[in-house]
Amino acid sequence: MRQPGARIHAMSGETMGTSWSILLAAPEPPAGLARQVQGLLDGFAAELSHWDPASQLSAFNDAPAGRWLSVPSRFYHVVAAAIALARETGGAFDPTIGALVDLWGFGPGPAPATAPAPTAIEAAQARSGWQRLEMDALGSRLRQPGGLRLDLSGIAKGLAVDEVAALLDSSGHRAFLVEIGGELLGKGLRPDGLPWWVDIEAPPASALMPTRVALHGLSIATSGDYRRYFEEDGARYAHTLDPRSGRPSDNKLASVTVLHERCMMADALATAITVLGPEEGLAFADRMGVAALLIARAGPIHVELLSKAAAAMAE
């Protein structure tokens, strides 16, 4: 429903090594709302950021073997959701690969000059593995098995988007577009009566046109192998790691975009489908009823693949 006299008000800031922004449809500028959002995100990062050595996530990663740690309910909730997806995907998505992420230079440390040696990859894999993590739902506790390093970067930004949207909802706002690090959630209508339109970017050097979608009670997340990588001797290593091999995913997928009611799930599912690859990823999306747009490389060109749910949306 359109609000009489509403205008678009913009606000932005920084969080977890990236940026956040909000477009809000309201008659008057929202006094103090930007400070509330920044405070929420600062608290979020203090729990879940692997870039902050003082975060509660870092405290778990640095804990000695065998120790049980009580964690806040939000911390437990996001880890439980990530482990559930790890189980569903046979380990294609895995929140316990922080040692591998650091080894490849996609964590808070510097990027390596060369690709890691196979022995180093094997050692990091031995410290990882979602099956190693013990969880106590009643006590909201996690057990550090020794050397395991959680990395929630494949799901946490989406959860942060959901939490900011919940804050706006609780503040009485009904029309907005929230973005954190490229993950977005839209609700309600713009002042002109149109939904919040966003374009799904095409990969660089692609002849494909951007796909425009309306975020009306939906969120969107994209995982692309062109966004963060390092190169060595002509080889390019993308930041999305396949936990099963311990190496960057190399399955001809240039990007995966997922639409979902919850941005946390859109974020995680985009990563999981990227790792699974074109055929297995599309089959997984269809089995789970996920709306996904996959852009695959076919020689020198790019082709679009739509899951059944995404095709139904397009129609």
Q: Which residue in 198, 302, 193, 289 sits closest to 255, CA to CA?
A: 302
Question: What are the Cα distances from residue 176, in Å, to 45, 57, 180?
Answer: 23, 30, 13
Q: Is 271 annotated as ligand-binding?
A: yes
| CB-count exposure of residue 9 (10 Å: 0-12, 13-18, 19+) | middle
Residues placed in the known binding site for Mg(2+)? 154, 267, 271
Known binding-site positions: 154, 267, 271
